[in-house]
Amino acid sequence: MRLEDALFNWLQIRVVWNARPQDRSAEETTRFFYEILAEDHGVEELYVMMEKDRYTVRWQQKGQEQCREFEREQVEQLLRSIEAEPKYNKAFDCGPEREG
Q: Does residue 93 sit within a domain?
A: no
Residue 77 and residue 58: Cα distance in Å, rounded?
21
Q: Does residue 32 sit within a domain?
A: yes
Phi, psi of 89 (to 5 degrees): -125, 10
As for how many domains the chain has, the answer is 1
Per-residue pLDDT of the chain (100 residues; tens, 9 = 90+): 999 999 999 999 999 999 999 999 999 999 999 999 999 999 999 999 999 999 999 999 999 999 999 999 999 999 999 989 877 665 444 444 434 4
Residue 93 and residue 18: Cα distance in Å, rounded?
24
Q: Does residue 100 sit within a domain?
A: no
28 contacts: CB under 8 Å, gap ≥ 6: none
Q: What is the pLDDT of residue 98?
A: 39
Q: Does residue 97 sit within a domain?
A: no
- Within the chain, strands assigned E span 43-50, 54-61, 64-71
Q: What is the pTM of this model?
A: 0.84
